[in-house]
Structure 1
């Protein structure tokens, strides 16, 4: 599963469009979006929202608890790269991969994921 060309987004945008996917007390720390899809890192999980169909009325919500992540990789953008890359590996599943803009706070996201996996 891969998401291409995601950019950092305002958590309020995800809440406005897909707030029903969040639980009481859940806080979004990082959120990225493509044209219609979102991937959010909350205090409890990684949430991937895949908007499907021409009208976008069909949506898939994938929840990945941090305890299910076996490893992750963060690749920063180089001098001539336009984007950075994040891979999240899950036991028994394909990795979740996505590319984000070169100005993304990769250090912050890497630190956040490391803290969540330490628990």
Structure 2
């Protein structure tokens, strides 16, 4: 089975699905979606929404505050572009296979601002 790449999507297209996972004043800067998974880069944190099982009834929501990110990498020119994020408490990186898109560079700058700024 192959790896499904996350695609950048317009924020307006995922607002309804994302609203229940966001704080009232939280704003989404980038949204990446696969078939049933949704990753949101907000002004406060990374939110990864993973629908599990055949029916998708079980949903796992993982939150990573930007303050807990120790390093990251964004591979933009590759056969399979990838974003890797390491946190203070995990030995393995969070890996996201992302479709080739000009917004990868914008995401890189966004993460740099949130983690280094």
TM-score, shorter chain, exceeding 0.5: yes
* Structure 2 counterparts to residues 8-87 of structure 1, below 5 A: 8-78=8-78, 81=79, 83-87=80-84
Stretches of structure 2 that go unaligned for 5 or more consecutive residues are: none
Using the size of structure 2 for normalisation, the TM-score is: 0.89
Structure 1 stretches of at least 4 aligned residues deviating more than 6 Å after TM superposition? none
What residue is the counterpart of 1:114 in the other structure? 112
Aligned residue pair count: 114
Task: Please say if residues 4 and 98 of structure 1, whose CA atoms lie closer than 8 Å, have aligned partners that are also in contact.
Answer: no
Task: Please say if residues 73 and 88 of structure 1, whose CA atoms lie closer than 8 Å, have aligned partners that are also in contact.
Answer: yes
Q: Tell me the CA shift for residue 118 of structure 1.
A: 2.0
Query: Which structure has greater strand proportion?
Result: 1
What residue is the counterpart of 2:86 in the other structure? 89
In structure 2, what is the Cα distance between the partners aligned to 1:56 and 1:18?
A: 15
In structure 2, what is the Cα distance between the partners aligned to 1:14 and 1:22?
A: 12
Secondary structure class of the residue paired with 2:20: helix
Stretches of structure 1 that go unaligned for 5 or more consecutive residues are: none
* Higher RCO structure (Cα 8 Å, ≥6 apart): 1
Q: Tell me the CA shift for residue 84 of structure 1.
A: 1.2
Q: Tell me the CA shift for residue 4 of structure 1.
A: 3.9
Larger mean CA deviation between 10-19 and 83-92 belongs to 10-19
Q: Tell me the CA shift for residue 18 of structure 1.
A: 3.5
Q: Tell me the CA shift for residue 55 of structure 1.
A: 1.3
In structure 1, what is the Cα distance between the partners aligned to 2:15 and 2:46?
A: 15
Q: RMSD of aligned C-alpha atoms?
A: 1.5
Secondary structure class of the residue paired with 1:112: helix
